Structure 1
Amino acid sequence: MKRLLMAALLTGAATLPATAPATATELVYGSWLGVTNKTNTDALVPYFDMVAEATGGDIQWEMIGGSQLANASGTPEAVGANMMDAGLVMAPYQPRMLPATNLIFSQSLVGEDLLASVGAMNETLMLHCDECHAEFAQNDAVGFAGYGVSPYLFMCRGGPRTIDDLRRMKIRGSGGGVAIIETLGGTPISMTGNEFTAAMERGALDCVLGSVQWLVSFGLMDVTDTVIDAPMGMGGPPIMMYVNRGVWEDMTPEQRQAHIDHAPDLVSMATFDVQIPADEAAVSQAKEQGITFIEGGPEYDAVMSERDATQYDLNIGNARDAGVEAPEPILDAYLASFDRWKGLLDDEGRDSDTFRRLLWDEVYSKVDPDAL
């Protein structure tokens, strides 16, 4: 889908800026998120502008949202086949294609430290998971710039309050959320973000286990009556830059470096300009609309403790069965990195500038774009 755009023609060169490049490479990014979703508009598009500026206009990314090119599960194949040049990839939607990346996604991080989780996800993906990059290469792609979401909550029809109320309910989950649903006695249902809202409306689902901002971004606000405010694990990373390998290799080294140089900006924008304010806005709107928020309490903490006590061995076994050769070092690095990032952020600060700097210092300054 790469196209060379003539920046000057003999008949029109005088009307163009003197700094316009002779040619520019126009690349297409296909997002299955809605056209106005803020991950698209407030993170990816500004990132594309940064890359364009850093490359003197030689690399131009065009955003096409709303699943116009591929849906969530079809994105890895669409990118690998060069039906689009890059897209947003969720490993749980294609676990057979991306088993090592899905291993990271399947480990539910306990607590509410979103920033530490995002730092750990990027560090593990970029520096401690050679099998992740090997599977990207096997699928004709390169992957970087993961983001995370706040701890998952139960968003439900009706008025469930307790664990007993959720038992035998049909609950949409993905990644580590599936095992959490099983632990409390619910029935996990696998659906993409483009499907579960309609299923809730039809009554085919009772709850969705996910980020509270999905009330807005996926339209759950109109089909949800109750949110159970108990942190049920953080998972990820969704990979914002999953790029066709041929497209990546056709770039100059300087152009590839520009993408990596600004990856911390992309991750930081996705966190501070999208995820955090979107959570706050969704909660405020939901309360205004009359959705009931229920404090989870100790019984929900006990579910997470039970899940955490068993998830390491289960995830290791599932990953090995899926073809991951050495899953233990990946998870060990992930958990150690999560603890390390908590300390880093406590010591250095938790504002956006500090987070961006730490992502560069601790992760992306150590990435060789030519070796991806």
Structure 2
Amino acid sequence: MSRGVVYALAGLFLAAAFRPLGAAELSFAIGHPPQSYLVRGGEVFAAALRQETGGEVTARVYAMSLLSLAETSPGLRAGLADIGVVLTTYQAGEYPATNLIHDASMVLDRFSSLPRRLKGAAYAPAMAEFILTRCPECVAEFARQNQVYTGAAATTPYALSCVRPVRSVAELRGARLRVGGANWARWAEAMKAVPVTMAGNEMLEALTQRIVDCVVLSLPDVRNFGLSGSIRSITADVPGGVYVAAFANVNRDVWRRLTAAQRRAVLKATAWGTATANWAYSEGEQQVIGQTMAAGGTVHEADAAVREASARFTETDLGRLAEIYAAQGVARSRQMLDEFLPILERWALRVGHVSSAEELADIYWQDLYSKVDVSDPGR
């Protein structure tokens, strides 16, 4: 093939890559079951995107079908989906800077005046703001995976949902706990329990076959993943911390083909989608507790000794996070944590008295997503 032909083909490829998208339906992969709150948020995202673009750009949600949770990050990179919910802890080596902030979520224990049900609703926008405005390393991590980060959704605080009571130091010792992140694995080890890592869609079988004693999970996700029938005992107040998902990452090639107005519409839809998911989590916790008790299960707090040990762990671990992630190549780890915590404090105050998903969406849009610069097609 002549050099001239090669250059011509390259030019055609680049022209196609940067051609405006025009009217299009974007595939939105969510590796959660159809009944989950993330899928509910995704459907609201799709409705908002249609409205904001006048139907020119739409999104179709694929719940637990197009890509699994573990497949979404590489699937977006390869263009198998246009948009996706990415769980960065599933590919920890690819997102160390992002996961540093994710792993700090147990610091929410310090915010005693913030209602438990709203802790995720505060942490998600704080983390999104930090990534979008203060963390070029995080943005670069997503870019290397051919993704554009747009925002975050979060659970309520994590609890112990178990096949048997696990409340005391003695009951925790040796218990096998399914964990979904490095911070909860470290907590389990500090409590002399055994952390077990597995994908979310493997939890039901693990509980049914008694491969694990507990799942470390938000209470609404007990229902979202269909685990309610296997849970006999909930310890609601430990370990704490929330899980934060990158809610609507966009394939970078698709993002480049969106106009600035269309990108802004994606961010407006993200504000609505994340607010919907976060609010659904906030309302779902008490519903799961009620269902567990109605089915004959028990719900209780951890013993005082466990609560005290957990609080000590949280403060000690926060002090070690910078060192842990510096060893993984995050050179600014200490500075990043120092910059993030004031952002979290501001968001805790901002959302502490919200009373609806609509109010939350308006705050997210006005205070965060409307301020993101969408003019750079290569962001």
TM-score, normalised to structure 2, is: 0.86
Q: CA deviation digits over 1:154-203, x for unaligned, max 9? A: 11112232122011111011222111111111011111111122111111
Seen in structure 2, the aligned counterparts of structure 1 residues 213 and 233 have a Cα distance that, compared at 3 Å, is same
CA contact (8 A) 1:230 1:297 kept: no
CA contact (8 A) 1:232 1:304 kept: yes
User: For the residues of structure 2 that align with 1:354 and 1:32, how far apart are their CA atoms?
Assistant: 27
Q: CA deviation digits over 1:263-301, x for unaligned, max 9? A: 2212211122x2122222212211111111122243232
1:199 matched residue in structure 2: 206
CA drift of 1:123 comes to 2.1
CA contact (8 A) 2:163 2:232 kept: yes
Q: Does 1:31 align with 2:37?
A: no
1:47 matched residue in structure 2: 45
2:73 matched residue in structure 1: 76
User: For the residues of structure 1 that align with 2:36 and 2:350, how far apart are their CA atoms?
Assistant: 31
Q: Which amino acid aligns with 2:127?
A: M
1:328 matched residue in structure 2: 334
Q: Which amino acid aligns with 2:236?
A: D
Instruction: Give the length in aligned residue pairs.
Output: 347
1:123 matched residue in structure 2: 129
CA contact (8 A) 1:316 1:328 kept: yes
CA contact (8 A) 1:180 1:303 kept: no
CA drift of 1:103 comes to 1.1
Q: Which amino acid aligns with 2:277?
A: A
CA contact (8 A) 1:136 1:142 kept: yes
CA contact (8 A) 1:110 1:232 kept: no
2:372 matched residue in structure 1: 367
Residue among 78, 88, 91 paired with 2:88: 91
Q: CA deviation digits over 1:222-245, x for unaligned, max 9? A: 211110121422234201111110
Q: Secondary structure at the match of 1:26?
A: strand
Q: Does 1:184 align with 2:183?
A: no
Which aligned pairs between 1:165-184 and structure 2 lie closer than 5 A? Answer: 165-175=171-181, 176-184=183-191
Residue among 146, 154, 172 paired with 1:148: 154
CA contact (8 A) 1:150 1:211 kept: yes
User: For the residues of structure 2 that align with 1:36 and 1:229, how far apart are their CA atoms?
Assistant: 22
CA contact (8 A) 1:147 1:237 kept: yes
2:56 matched residue in structure 1: 58
User: For the residues of structure 2 that align with 1:236 and 1:211, how far apart are their CA atoms?
Assistant: 8
2:248 matched residue in structure 1: 241
User: For the residues of structure 2 that align with 1:190 and 1:370, how far apart are their CA atoms?
Assistant: 40
Identity of aligned residues (%): 24
User: For the residues of structure 1 that align with 2:261 and 2:370, how far apart are their CA atoms?
Assistant: 14
User: For the residues of structure 1 that align with 2:293 and 2:133, how far apart are their CA atoms?
Assistant: 41
CA drift of 1:325 comes to 2.6
User: For the residues of structure 1 that align with 2:367 and 2:306, how far apart are their CA atoms?
Assistant: 34
CA contact (8 A) 2:146 2:253 kept: yes
Q: Secondary structure at the match of 1:194?
A: helix
Q: Secondary structure at the match of 2:294?
A: helix
Q: Which amino acid aligns with 2:163?
A: R
Q: Secondary structure at the match of 2:300?
A: strand
Q: Secondary structure at the match of 2:200?
A: coil
CA contact (8 A) 1:152 1:233 kept: yes
CA contact (8 A) 2:22 2:57 kept: no
Q: Does 1:337 align with 2:343?
A: yes
User: For the residues of structure 2 that align with 1:141 and 1:325, how far apart are their CA atoms?
Assistant: 22
Higher helix share: 2
Residue among 229, 233, 241 paired with 1:226: 233
Residue among 267, 285, 302 paired with 1:279: 285
User: For the residues of structure 1 that align with 2:240 and 2:336, how far apart are their CA atoms?
Assistant: 19
TM-score, normalised to structure 1, is: 0.88
User: For the residues of structure 1 that align with 2:194 and 2:99, how far apart are their CA atoms?
Assistant: 21
Deviates more, 1:213-222 or 1:300-309: 300-309
Q: Aligned-residue CA RMSD in angstroms?
A: 2.0
Q: Does 1:252 align with 2:259?
A: yes
User: For the residues of structure 2 that align with 1:303 and 1:94, how far apart are their CA atoms?
Assistant: 29
Seen in structure 2, the aligned counterparts of structure 1 residues 110 and 82 have a Cα distance that, compared at 3 Å, is same
Unaligned runs of 5+ in 1: 1-21
CA contact (8 A) 2:36 2:221 kept: no
Unaligned runs of 5+ in 2: 1-20, 110-115
Which aligned pairs between 1:255-274 and structure 2 lie closer than 5 A? Answer: 255-272=262-279, 274=280
1:11 matched residue in structure 2: none
User: For the residues of structure 2 that align with 1:248 and 1:365, how far apart are their CA atoms?
Assistant: 17
Seen in structure 2, the aligned counterparts of structure 1 residues 119 and 84 have a Cα distance that, compared at 3 Å, is closer
CA contact (8 A) 2:168 2:303 kept: no
CA drift of 1:106 comes to 1.1
CA contact (8 A) 1:260 1:369 kept: no
Q: Which amino acid aligns with 2:42?
A: L
